Structure 1
Amino acid sequence: MRKDLFNFGPALGYFFRKPDPTRHTNFNLRTMHFINKLSMAMFLVGFIVLLYRWFLR
C-alpha cells in the first residue's frame, strides 16, 4: 500500500494558504476558487452526515 494515498496536506493547504502577491488575479479566478472551496466544504459536511447516519443510528 502506498503511503501517500491518504496524504491530505495539499487539500488542506488549499483552504488555508495565503494569497500570493506576485500572482495576477481577477474576478473570474477568485470566483472559481470560492466555488471550489464551497463545493469541497459541502461535500465534507455531507460525508460527515452520512457517516453519522450509518454509524450512530
Structure 2
Amino acid sequence: MNGKDLFNFGPVFGYFFRKNDPSRQSNFNLRTMHFINKLSMAMFLVGLGVLLYRWFLR
C-alpha cells in the first residue's frame, strides 16, 4: 500500500451519491444502518476539516 491509496476518497463519495438499486430488497434496519454510516462519515469529514483548519490557518 502506498500513500496514494490512503487518500483515495472515490469509494466514499460513491457511497454518498449512489442511486438506489431497485433489484435490492430494502427494509427499515438496512435504511437506518446506511443513514447512520453516512452520518458518521460526514461527521468525521467535518471534524477532519476543523482539525486541518486549526492546524494550518491559525
Report the TM-score, using the length of structure 2 for normalisation. Answer: 0.88
What is the rounded CA distance, in whole Å, between the counterparts of 1:3 and 1:51 in structure 2? 18
Structure 2 CA distance for partners of 1:51 and 1:3, relative to 1, 3 Å: closer
Task: Give the match for residue 35 of structure 1.
Answer: 36
Superposed CA RMSD: 1.6
Could you say which residue in structure 1 is the equivalent of 2:53?
Answer: 52
| Partner Cα separation in structure 2 for residue 38 and residue 44 of structure 1 | 10
**Deviation per CA, 1:4-50, whole angstroms, max 9, x where unpaired?**
60322111100000000000000000000000000000000000000
CA displacement at 1:2 relative to structure 2: 3.8
* 3-state SS of 1:45 partner: helix
Identify the range of structure 1 (4-13 vs 37-46) with the bigger mean alpha-carbon deviation. Answer: 4-13
TM score, norm. by length of structure 1: 0.89
Q: Which moved more, 1:21-30 or 1:8-17?
A: 8-17
How many residues are aligned here?
Answer: 57
